[in-house]
Amino acid sequence: MYTQAMDTVGKDAADAPKALRSTEELALQQRFDARIDAGEFIEAKDWMPDNYRKTLTRQISQHAHSEFVGMLPEGNWISRAPTLKRKAILLAKVQDEGGHGLYLYAAAETLGQSRDQLLDALHSGKAKYSSIFNYPTLTWADIGVIGWLVDGAAIMNQVPICRCSFAPYARAMVRICREESFHQRQGFDALLTMMTRGTAAQQAMVQDAVNRWWWPSIQMFGPPDDQSPNSAQSMRWGIKRISNDELRAKFIDATVAQAQLLGVTLPDPELKWNEERGHHDHGAIDWSEFWRVVGGDGPCNRERLAARVKAWDDGAWVREAAMVHARKPSTQAQAA
């Protein structure tokens, strides 16, 4: 059912679907398809079609890159957090994002590419990372809104990945989702404090941040289903369990009630409950802006990439020292 011939067509000749070469390979393919149909998990050492491996390497590494790049807009506010408690929370959150990146790089590496190769794709601009992190954090309220909306969207997208057919990715996501839940709550709590106990200026700052982050947040789920080239195959393989549009609708429905509780207005006059669909209707999403940002021309793309490349270059001596240490006979004896 999911033969190589039906895999997503790649973008260059090397990615083009290959003809099945042998009866042995055909049998492996059939066994793989049956395992997917039965809802079994695929482990890294199991046989898998090339394009399944390629799709997962793409998605998991892009996810890892998003976690790393996602540290930058929030890290920007650690030294300016308004209280010791908020600073400690933000430090922990940013550290968590670094940890998520590491679990995800480790999961991606099980598919055969080294971490250096994966990071090189980020640094050379070949690999994508989430569009959302190309927007600036202008005020403290942006930090609360990132927790509430961005981490809220992340949880909605990532909980179904805990059931992804590729076991190392699914396992990594279980822990990540638990931590994302804390991230979402701390953001909501920071905003609730400002909205219920803050000054009029602080409340206006929250509303302004919501106005700027709302549309990019709902774009995070990716293009509409009918314009999503990877969705159909990823859903057949059990990599994606719920479609981009469905997840977006669930997120909007959950967030409308939370916005009312906070006392903020979501910047979409067309947001309205549709009884028949069982979801909110919403205004048109600016997909041209989304593709511009994904293509490298968002407000902070260049700054974000430059910061990651600089961090990599500045860390060269640490990697070299770690390698020298690992090669020392005394270290190897200890490891044995």
- Return the residues of window 73-112 that contact ligand BYC according to CB under 6 A: 97
- Asked if 222 is part of the footprint of ligand BYC (rule: CB under 6 A), the reply reads yes
**Residue closer to ligand BYC (CB basis): 53 or 265:** 53
- Asked if 51 is part of the footprint of ligand BYC (rule: CB under 6 A), the reply reads no
Residue where the block lists tokens 């999961």: 107
- Asked if 131 is part of the footprint of ligand BYC (rule: CB under 6 A), the reply reads yes
- Return the residues of window 240-259 that contact ligand BYC according to CB under 6 A: 240, 244
H helices then E strands: how many in the chain?
14, 2
Question: What are the start-end ranges of the H helices in 83-138?
Answer: 84-109, 115-123
- Asked if 231 is part of the footprint of ligand BYC (rule: CB under 6 A), the reply reads yes
Amino acid 200 reads: A
**The two structure tokens encoding residue 210:** 């919501």
Amino acid 150 reads: V
Beta carbons of 32 and 48 less than 8 angstroms apart = yes
Which residue from 145, 154, 209, 300 is in contact with ligand BYC, where contact means CB under 6 A?
Answer: 154
- Asked if 229 is part of the footprint of ligand BYC (rule: CB under 6 A), the reply reads yes
**Residue closer to ligand BYC (CB basis): 195 or 216:** 216
Per CB under 6 A, the segment of 199-207, 220-228, 262-270, 298-306 that binds ligand BYC is 220-228
Total number of residues binding ligand BYC (CB under 6 A)? Answer: 28
Amino acid 221 reads: F
- Return the residues of window 160-219 that contact ligand BYC according to CB under 6 A: none
233 vs 8: CA distance, rounded Å: 6
Per CB under 6 A, the segment of 26-34, 59-67, 202-210, 270-278 that binds ligand BYC is 59-67
- 197 by Cβ neighbours in 10 Å (0-12 / 13-18 / 19+) ranks as exposed
Label residues 282-300 b or e (16+ Cβ within 10 Å = b).
Answer: beebeeeebeebbeeebeb
Interface residues with ligand BYC (CB under 6 A) are 58-59, 62-63, 66-67, 70, 97, 128, 130-131, 150-151, 154, 157-158, 220-223, 228-231, 234, 240, 244, 294
